[in-house]
A and B are shown apart, each in its own frame.
Chain A
Amino acid sequence: MTWKRGDPLREIVERARRLATWVVPPEDLVQRVLDRPDEPALEAPRASGAVEWKPLDVRGTGGTGGAAAAGAARLASQVFDDGEVGIVAVPPSGDGLWQIQGRVWLRRDDAAVIRVVLVDGEHVIASIATTSGRDFEIHEAVGTGWELEIHLPSGDVLVLGEPSP
């Protein structure tokens, strides 16, 4: 094949050829995602104008954490104006996934929906709805430095950083 040296078309084709796999997904698979999901796309707390608390008493437990029996379990809790949140986070072990369990208690609005969101940078890894006093559990592949956002019925957002060991 004869190409001019420095030809941008040649460069783009040569680059494109280096990708081993380029496969069109089955059309029925694509059709399943063409309609937007029902789940809400939540604003980042800083952009939404919601009040954001950083927890003051996040701490590791060195392996004494309740529900999670694994040795590296880390506890974090926070009391805020309207209630309290507590989590147990177990770093990846055999399956390579973080396991985060917790519960939010509200003094009022017991039946109101609370959304718990696991965030890694610009990626919302998981988003689950819960209510006051109900356990939530997240089992996800996520890197270090994740944050857990608790979107309260009031519109306020509590942000818990990854608890340190």
Chain B
Amino acid sequence: MAGDGDRGRIRIVPDPLSQLTSHPIGSSTARPFPKLEEERIARILAAAERISDTELVARCRSGDENAWRLVVRRYQNLVYSTALDVGLDADDAGDVFQDVWLELHRSMRRIRNPEALPRWLMVATRRLSYKVATRRRRLVADVSRDLVDPGTLPDDAVEIARARHAIETALELLGGRCERLLRLLFFADDKIPYGEVSKKTGLAVGSIGPVRARCLSRLRRILEGKS
């Protein structure tokens, strides 16, 4: 909220894309930034995350390099995970990953509904996964010619991928102890006893419940775009 002194003034809001660095969204790799820098980048990325796909695609069409980088960062995990999900190994998934972005670049001016970009990317990834698998003449259990037909990608699969993308981005923005705790509680392969969670997070067993509630509240605020 602007104070009285700001009334009537034009507020210039910095474009988050113009401040974007190469810091990845959704990356779980080590971060080289000191804490203050990390927080600044997290704020920029949080703002950037609220830029719609429609705006990003429009900016890409007009040649905005930062918009292109943000599209890649926003959906890098979706593309790579989709390639692995259909049964490719890491090498082949890496080849598909590069080909998908090339195809997106070529097709940028033809995308009619940019808000459906996740579906577009999944369709391209599945088709290119099929191509790579057949070119390698490898038998991959889940790779069938069905992948070439966009009609075989169920809406539910796209919605699940969108949900995962939203959660992963929010968890990254949350960071620190909250991110670790929520990942252990909600995304571990097996249910982890509180004693184990306590060891891994340094929280007393009795504190896990209240901290979890606060972390969920913060996660909710990020997902609602309030943070």
Residues of A at under 8 Å CB distance from B? 1, 9, 12-13, 15-27, 29-37, 39-44, 47, 92, 95-97, 119, 121-125, 127, 140-143
Please determine whether B134 and A24 come into contact, CB atoms closer than 8 angstroms: no
Asked whether A16 and B160 contact (CB < 8 A) given A24-B27, A27-B29, A122-B111, the answer is yes
Say yes or no: is B102 at the interface (Cβ < 8 Å to chain A).
Answer: yes
Given contacts A24-B28, A44-B110, A96-B145, could you give 4 more A-B pairs where the C-beta distance is less than 8 Å?
A9-B219, A9-B223, A24-B27, A122-B107
Q: Is the CB of B47 closer than 8 A to any CB of chain A? A: no
Complex Cα spacing A121 to B61, Å: 18
CB contacts (< 8 Å) of B102 on chain A: these are 33, 37, 39
Is A12's CB under 8 angstroms from B145's CB?
Answer: no
Residues 181-215 of B at the A interface (beta carbon under 8 Å): 185-187
22 contacts between A and B (CB under 8 A): A9-B219, A9-B223, A15-B160, A15-B163, A19-B161, A22-B77, A22-B81, A24-B24, A24-B28, A25-B97, A27-B29, A30-B24, A31-B22, A34-B22, A36-B105, A39-B106, A41-B108, A47-B110, A96-B134, A122-B112, A123-B107, A142-B127
Residues of B bordering A, CB below 8 Å: 22, 24, 26-29, 61, 65, 68-69, 72-73, 76-77, 79-81, 84-85, 93-94, 97-98, 101-103, 105-112, 120, 123-124, 127-128, 130-131, 134-135, 137, 145, 148-150, 159-161, 163-164, 166-168, 185-187, 216, 219-220, 223
